[in-house]
Amino acid sequence: MDIGIGLPNTVPGTEGAALTDWARRAEDAGFSTLGTIGRLVYPTFDELIALAGAAAVTSRIRLTTSVLLAPLHSNTALLAKQAASLDRLSGGRLVLGLGLGGRDDDFAAAGVPTKGKGHRLEEQLAEMKEIWSGRPYGDGGAIGPKPVREGGPELILGGSAEASFDRVARLADGWIMGGGTPEMFAQAAAAVDAAWQKAGRDGRPRKLTLAYFALGPDARAQADAYLLHYYGFLGDMAQQIAASAAINTEMVKAYAAAFESSGCDELIFVPTSSDPEQIRLLAEAIA
């Protein structure tokens, strides 16, 4: 199983220089990918722009939106162009993880309805693939640049419902769980595999998941300060999310072992702080 690390693009107070420094250090530490969390109404860095900054200072590490909320982007052609630009800029390292989103304020701010967002995502996927195929759209030709991989960047979709698993099987390369236990992952992963087989797809879908972490002497306070604020809209569930963060080496190792046993291909540990020392601590914990 690959082990990735998130960029602190959602951690309030993070500066641009901290993001690019984080990206360099993460690559040097040997992590498989840099992940980003997507949200509109929060003081976050946009995922594609944050990863473009990371791409400029790295050469090997994958760049994963884990996940970008596609239905918030009403201009699908522009989204396809931005994704292809990042993919080409990074030499084909983009993994485009897409999800539906669940916060009404994000949709209100974007001026798009929440109703029908699953259908909207499927329309977007079809349109983006058409664009990435190089189809001419006018006198200027295709909407470029052309992605490095034929057909477009690797597509990973989130979601925990049967409709989401079916969408993965028909339209994507893999699936990502946005949070939960290894047992929850194993159950959902089996459903994804079943949908994949039912759709007659060859091979197997790549399956990923996320887990929050905070390490060091103030780990518990650090995790609580960030996660209780970020997930405050969920009420009591925010406490559960904060409590699940890996706050010591033993928890990091246990999560890694349990998710690997449940069939996970890549586990992305998401930081709750932009202190670069967290990269070293996590690398040592998984060594």
DSSP state of 115: T
Residue 46 exposed, middle or buried by CB count within 10 Å (0-12, 13-18, 19+): middle
Question: Residue 157 has what pLDDT?
Answer: 98
pLDDT, tens only, 161-176: 999 999 999 999 999 9
Is the C-alpha dihedral spanning 41, 44, 46, 51 positive or negative? negative
Residue 127 exposed, middle or buried by CB count within 10 Å (0-12, 13-18, 19+): middle
- Residue of 214, 222, 230, 221 lying closest to 278 (CA atoms): 214
Question: Residue 238 has what pLDDT?
Answer: 96
Q: Where are the alpha helices (DSSP H) in the chain?
A: 16-28, 47-56, 76-89, 104-110, 117-132, 162-171, 182-198, 219-230, 236-244, 249-261, 277-286
- Residue of 61, 70, 48 lying closest to 92 (CA atoms): 61
pLDDT beneath 70: ranges in the chain: none
Inter-residue contact 159 to 195 (CB < 8 Å): no
Question: Residue 174 has what pLDDT?
Answer: 98
Question: Residue 64 has what pLDDT?
Answer: 98
> Residue written as tokens 């390369």?
173
The CATH number of 2-286 is which of 3.40.470.10, 3.20.20.30, 3.20.20.70, 3.75.10.20?
A: 3.20.20.30
Question: Residue 2 has what pLDDT?
Answer: 98
Question: What's the predicted TM-score (pTM) here?
Answer: 0.97
pLDDT, tens only, 92-135: 999 999 999 989 999 999 999 999 999 999 999 999 999 999 99
